[in-house]
Amino acid sequence: MLSGFMNFLWACFRPRSDRHVHNGSDSGGRQDGLLWYKDTGHHFNGDFSMAVVQANNLLEDQSQLESGCLSLQESGPYGTFVGVYDGHGGPETSRFINSTLFHHLKRFTSENQSMSVEVIKKAFQATEDGFSSIVSKQWPMKPQIAAVGSCCLVGVVCSGSLYIANLGDSRAVLGRLVKATGEVLAIQLSAEHNACIESVRQELHSTHPDDSQIVVLKHNVWRVKGLIQISRSIGDVYLKKAEFNRAPLYAKFRLREPFKRPILSSDPSVSVHQLQPHDQFIIFASDGLWEHLSNQEAVDIVQNNPHSGSAKRLIKVALQRAAKKREMRYSDLKKIDRGVRRHFHDDITVVVLFLDSNLMTRRTANVSVKGAGVSLPSNTLAPETGPT
């Protein structure tokens, strides 16, 4: 028992192996231990700030910002795409989304010759189908990939409109200036799909009227089939196709009774907002941030500080609060290595997109930035982990 505890302490405070660093396609992101950040950059409609802090042994959060042409044709439309993909059970699904979703969006935008809700939904479905195909192919050799999935939050600014699409419990929050008072109010733009929300539980009961155990309160947390908190995702094929809910999948993921209809959905909630001159910025973040900050607190931090470093600043406040909850100093939390760090907080991804109404029609060179983390050698396998 004592040796196990000493091993835990050694894992907490051993020197970090920061030599294995992957900077994605970014030209300017920096690494500080487990924190990756790009303090400032320019997109089609203004400035942006990005940051990612890693907690898992393998980073399960993936993120990207793509700005410029949003189709395969140079004629456009032009705008900015933001994606935050919070994986669970492993990094495979979020990595797949990060490499495919935007390409599908460009393809369908070209076919449609404009941006639309239908285009975004088609891109989500093509991404879901693509990952499902990978699970089918890898099932004989790597069956546990059926239990890997990801939340998927997307924002698209195009032609004066803001499209928000979401699966899972990441969140997009708008900071809107109230001219009469000078306040900047937080307005949540995304609909979340987490079983802790009563309306989500009601939706699950409505779509599965014959299953009294569709949501179960387990260890004081509502979970779909007692397994997973979110009700919509990319991946998690073991809860969408019955043929992947059997041995050799780990027993803890297998249901006692076969199911006839998908338990989880991959249909995103999509909303469209006409941007106004008093819309200042949008915060896109995985749920790791919102566990520690309210919508208004996050908006206030961005509003009351310089644009540069906004995303990193939000993550730092979240980590300070995570440390305080464990009655430890922030400086000590920063010394804890990936893997063990997950006991203190989740992977956290933040993208802050500032909006300049004077730039809504300008054209700039294409920009592509992908958030990164500390990477292990390519042959390293993800440890056995459960969904969240």
| Contact (Cβ atoms closer than 8 angstroms) between residue 93 and residue 131 | yes
pLDDT at 22: 36
The CA distance from 139 to 40, in Å, is 42
pLDDT at 356: 85
The CA distance from 137 to 6, in Å, is 42
Tokens of 296: 């208004």
| pLDDT tens sequence for the chain (388 residues) | 434 433 433 334 333 333 333 333 345 689 888 999 999 998 988 999 999 999 888 889 999 999 999 999 888 899 999 999 999 999 999 999 999 999 999 999 999 999 999 999 999 999 999 999 999 999 999 999 999 999 999 999 999 999 999 999 999 999 999 999 999 999 999 999 999 999 999 999 999 999 999 999 999 999 999 999 999 999 999 999 999 999 999 999 999 888 999 999 999 999 999 999 999 999 999 999 999 999 999 999 999 999 999 999 999 999 999 999 989 998 888 888 888 888 888 899 999 999 986 655 555 678 999 998 765 543 333 433 344 4
Cis peptide before 262 (omega within 30 of 0): no
The CA distance from 310 to 74, in Å, is 32
The CA distance from 257 to 242, in Å, is 10
| Contact (Cβ atoms closer than 8 angstroms) between residue 107 and residue 101 | no
